[in-house]
Amino acid sequence: MKIRAGVPIDIRNAIEEKIFLNSINSRATEDMQIFVDLIRRSFKNCDLVFLSKLKDGCYPLLKAFDYSNTVAISVGVGNNILLDESLARLGCTVHLFDHTIDNVSLKNEFRNRITFHKVGLAAETQENFMSMSSMIQYINDTLKRKISLVKIDCEGCEWSSLTESAILALSKVDQLIVEFHFLNKFTDQYFSSSSINLFNNILEYFDICYISPNNFSGSVTLDSGNIWPFTIEVMFINKEIAGQYSSEGTNSLPKLKNWKLGKSIDLSHWTSPRL
């Protein structure tokens, strides 16, 4: 039985799902459709390779991309550095940022490729936190190499940290992977409108090439029959390079699960043309 914050995950999810369904209204339903349509219109098929089918964070990478001699920023580490180790093996230098842990345990083969900073992500730089703009500026000033990928999994701070200036700084990055939490808050008008605005800002510079629900979190089936997950993992690819890595075929997603024993969540309707 999986437990978080002292509560079994399935019980926690059931409570959140019930609260969401009792709170949903026509305005929230309309905003949810706007959000899905944004993703649908910007989705591009790309050739991807997936690092894991079971661990938390089924991270994709561009299959034909040359990560050697580039830099990656990985925000939110916890006990999972699968993505970071994989990037290091591909010749990428990785900088980890996480204020919630003291350090990470690195194998000898990664000590020259991976650097840890006990620093968190925030909207503004202060004390033990840095803005995304500051992180990118730090990498540019110290390493003077191309940033190929930024990953953000900061358990909810992504919404407040991805400011307009942060997104502008990210616009020169090739790939952006973000785990977006708390989509059950779409019943709150301020949250839903802010979320839609944030995605609009990101999609000015990026397309989406991967989206997956995190089945550690709850999800509900709407009256339309479509599924609304409470946490999604999204991979964005910079519009300037998207054409180089696109693949033929219909918009499809692999059915990966973060939690092996959790329920499957099908988001095919998020990337298929609207009927």
pLDDT digits (tens, 9 = 90+) for 211-240: 989 888 899 998 888 899 999 999 999 999
Per cent of the chain over pLDDT 90 is 72
Q: Pinpoint the alpha helices (H) of 24-163.
A: 26-42, 82-89, 132-142, 158-161
Burial code (b: 16+ CB inside 10 Å, e: under 16) for 119-154 equals bbbbbeeeeebbbbbbbbebbeeeeeeebbbbbbbb
The whole-number pLDDT of residue 226 equals 87
Q: Where are the domains of the chain?
A: 3-270
Q: Are 176 and 202 in contact (CB under 8 A)?
A: yes
Report the 10 Å Cβ neighbour count for 84: 24
**HSE-CB of 108 using CA atoms within 13 angstroms:** 0
Token pair recorded at residue 47: 């050739």
CA-CA distance, 47 to 60, in Å (whole number)?
Answer: 10
CA-CA distance, 244 to 249, in Å (whole number)?
Answer: 15
CA-CA distance, 52 to 256, in Å (whole number)?
Answer: 9
Q: Are 181 and 155 in contact (CB under 8 A)?
A: yes
Confidence of residue 274 (pLDDT cuts 50, 70, 90): low
pLDDT digits (tens, 9 = 90+) for 157-211: 999 999 999 999 999 999 999 999 999 999 999 999 999 999 999 999 999 999 9
Q: For 142, phi and psi rounded to 5 degrees?
A: -90, -35
Q: Is the pLDDT of residue 98 over 60?
A: yes
Among residues 56, 86, 104, 105, the alpha carbon closest in space to that of 213 is found at: 56
Taking the whole predicted model, whether its pTM rises above 0.75 is answered as yes
Q: Are 196 and 31 in contact (CB under 8 A)?
A: yes
Sign, CA torsion 153/169/211/237:
negative
In CATH terms, is domain 3-270 a member of 3.40.50? yes
The whole-number pLDDT of residue 267 equals 87
40 against 271, higher pLDDT: 40
pLDDT digits (tens, 9 = 90+) for 121-153: 999 999 999 999 999 999 999 998 999 999 999
CA dihedral 164, 165, 171, 174 (to 10 degrees): -110
Q: Is the pLDDT of residue 89 over 80?
A: yes
Report the 10 Å Cβ neighbour count for 160: 15
Q: Are 237 and 175 in contact (CB under 8 A)?
A: yes
3-state SS assignment for residue 27: helix
CA-CA distance, 2 to 89, in Å (whole number)?
Answer: 31
